[in-house]
Amino acid sequence: MKALSEVAAKYSGSGQGDAAQYMLAGIQASNSKYTEAERNFKAVADSDSEYSALAKIGLAQLYAGQGKNQQAKTILENLVAHPTPMVSKEQATLLLAGVVKDTDPKRAKQLAESLKVPTERAAVERAAGQIATDAK
């Protein structure tokens, strides 16, 4: 964590700095240091780096884990509307369906069903089928 903190500070605003800060946030979240993780995920999410979308996913998952589903939902809906090379529309849709499945199972099922089309990405179709089944 010390090394990542040093790289994030030394290269702040660069791709290397954002990558280090994103990884640091993930480790902090794993160690239940949620306030620090949120701060670091937000910093990267608000940047223009290629890691921004990944940090948004991390932030959404952090919020969902804390029961802040509306905040997670807002972030994921934005990623569905604006996918990136690092986070596809399908990935954001699956995560969104997972966040809303307990509070809005009908919407979760609709989101999942929208991905259950034959594609070259069989994993997406399988994951969508599982969420659609779970959202009852």
Better-predicted residue by pLDDT, 112 or 129: 112
Cα angle 41-71-102, degrees, rounded to a multiple of 5: 120
Dist CA 94 CA 113 (whole Å): 10
> SS in 3 state form for 58-87?
HHHHHHHHCCCHHHHHHHHHHHHHCCCCCC
pLDDT band at 118 (very low <50, low <70, confident <90, very high): low
Contact status, residue 125 vs residue 115, Cβ threshold 8 Å = yes
Provide the residue ranges of all domains of the chain, joining segments of one domain with +.
1-72, 88-136
Q: Identify the residue whose tokens are 């509306």.
A: 70
Of 21-25, 43-47, 116-120, least confident by mean pLDDT is: 116-120
Tens digits of residue pLDDT in 63-89: 999 999 999 999 999 999 999 999 999
Better-predicted residue by pLDDT, 129 or 97: 97
Dist CA 60 CA 38 (whole Å): 10
- Taking every pair of C-alpha atoms in the chain, what is the biggest distance, in angstroms? 49
- Which tokens belong to 90? 């399908």
pLDDT band at 120 (very low <50, low <70, confident <90, very high): low
Q: Around Cβ 132, how many Cβ atoms within 10 Å?
A: 21
- Over residues 10-33, the mean pLDDT reads 95
Better-predicted residue by pLDDT, 37 or 135: 37
Give the per-residue pLDDT at 121.
67
> What's this model's pTM, rounded to 2 decimal places?
0.86
- Which tokens belong to 60? 């959404």
Tell whether the model's pLDDT for residue 134 goes beyond 80: no
